[in-house]
């Protein structure tokens, strides 16, 4: 069915979703990274950016929180820009693991067959693929420049978070060396793990993540800066990955209940992509058992249901002013 929704319908639905989700209780801050345990659990923001560049922001949308695993999305995009989507498929893969984000078991199960850049193992492998090889500073610049281009403004490293993660990332060290053992790290192991840890420690706002989502929804054209950040064909590839594994072992439940491909991070952020229409991001620190923000999930689900949207609805939806 062809139908239209108005910009003001979207603003109203986002405002209502924010108001209704604000009171939602439950979940707990991540505590395996000490910095995250101390963030105010009441912080909550909801941002939406349409593919025409219009943005709506409610709540704590300028607060810089740890991007964490949402950073896996831009770096997967960068790996696709540098090595093509097929190059990423060949070296990392595009399969859901159905297991937690930090699973070692997933690597053992698929040691001859890579999984996806959207879980820790594949994300560390993606960092190892970023050019130029062996040059930490230049690789880091490539990663952060790409995030800046996608968001239209720069992220900022949270030093305390970076130190906190570096001091406690024993599981990720094990993952990195196991990947090396299976020939799935394409640069120095320590450099690759450090880049991954650093990118997870970037501070980002929900307003910035909504613009990143909108850039992906808009086939690589950042609607705020009007710059083409990546080849339009990459959009469907990265959105497919988000749809298949963005919530780890809960991805099926998420897509079934929300209708929107999205990616979460243990900092409390969630970024969603509604192809052709908008990017959406929500942030609230308390997480469910799989490491996904309880309030952010509620807010995005509410908005999707209020607007009666879903990527598999079959509807051809256009936004009118
Ligand atoms: N830096 C975190 C980790 O590697 C990111 C995990 C996440 O956000 N799911 O454990």
> What's the CATH code of the domain at 92?
3.40.710.10
Name residues contacting ligand 1 (CB within 6 A): 68-69, 101-102, 120, 165, 172, 200, 265-266, 291
Average pLDDT over residues 251-259: 97
pTM of the model: 0.97
pLDDT for 35 beyond 70: yes
| pLDDT tens per residue, range 189-239 | 999 999 999 999 999 999 999 999 999 999 999 999 999 999 999 999 999
Contact 46, 299 (CB under 8 A): yes
Tell me how many domains the chain contains: 1
* Non-local CB neighbours of 273 within 8 Å, separated by 6+ positions: 213, 216, 217, 239, 242, 260, 261, 262, 279
Nearest CA to ligand 1 atom 6: 69
* Non-local CB neighbours of 98 within 8 Å, separated by 6+ positions: 249
Q: What is the pLDDT of residue 290?
A: 87
| Position in ligand 1 atom list of the atom nearest CA 120 | 4
Report the alpha-carbon distance of residue 87 to residue 75 in Å, rounded.
14
Between the CA of 315 and the centroid of ligand 1 the distance, in Å, is: 35
Q: What is the pLDDT of residue 114?
A: 66
The pick from 27, 75, 266 for probing ligand 1's pocket by mutation, whose C-beta has the most ligand atoms within 8 angstroms, reads 266
- Chain mean position to CA 293: 12
Q: Sorting pLDDT into bands at 50, 70 and 90, what band is 16?
A: very high
H helices present in 66-133, as ranges: 72-91, 105-109, 120-129
| Position in ligand 1 atom list of the atom nearest CA 165 | 1
Nearest CA to ligand 1 atom 2: 68
| Position in ligand 1 atom list of the atom nearest CA 101 | 9
Average pLDDT over residues 47-62: 98
* Burial class of 2 by CB neighbour count within 10 A (0 to 12, 13 to 18, 19+): exposed
Report the alpha-carbon distance of residue 229 to residue 271 in Å, rounded.
18
The domain in which residue 248 lies consists of: 2-320
Q: Mean pLDDT for the chain? A: 96
């Amino acid at each position: 069915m062809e139908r239209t929704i108005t910009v003001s319908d979207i603003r109203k639905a986002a405002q209502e979703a924010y108001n209704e989700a604000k009171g939602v209780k439950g979940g707990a801050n991540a505590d395996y990274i000490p910095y995250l345990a101390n963030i105010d659990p009441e912080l909550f923001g909801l941002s939406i950016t349409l593919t025409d560049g219009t943005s709506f922001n409610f709540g704590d949308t300028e607060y810089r929180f740890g991007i964490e695993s949402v950073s896996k999305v831009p770096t997967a995009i960068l790996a696709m820009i540098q090595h093509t989507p097929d190059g990423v498929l060949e070296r990392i893969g595009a399969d859901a693991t159905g297991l937690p984000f930090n699973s070692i078991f997933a690597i053992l199960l698929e040691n001859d067959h890579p999984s996806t850049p959207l879980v820790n193992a594949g994300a560390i492998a993606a960092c190892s693929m970023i050019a130029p090889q062996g040059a930490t500073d230049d690789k880091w610049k490539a990663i952060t420049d790409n995030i800046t281009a996608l968001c239209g403004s720069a992220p900022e490293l949270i030093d305390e978070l970076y130190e906190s993660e570096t001091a406690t990332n024993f599981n990720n060290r094990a993952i990195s060396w196991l990947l090396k053992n299976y020939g799935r790290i394409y640069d120095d192991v320590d450099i690759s793990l450090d880049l991954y840890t650093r990118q997870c420690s970037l501070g980002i706002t929900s307003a910035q993540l909504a613009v990143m989502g909108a850039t992906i929804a808009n086939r690589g054209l950042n609607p705020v800066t009007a710059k083409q950040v990546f080849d339009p064909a990459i959009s469907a590839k990265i959105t497919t990955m988000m749809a298949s594994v963005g919530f780890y072992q809960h991805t099926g439940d998420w897509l079934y209940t929300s209708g929107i491909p999205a990616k979460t991070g243990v900092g409390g952020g969630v970024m969603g992509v509604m192809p052709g229409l908008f990017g959406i991001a929500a942030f609230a620190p308390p997480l469910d058992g799989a490491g996904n923000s309880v309030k952010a999930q509620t807010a995005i689900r509410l908005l999707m249901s209020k607007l009666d949207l879903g990527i598999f609805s079959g509807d051809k939806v256009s936004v009118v002013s």
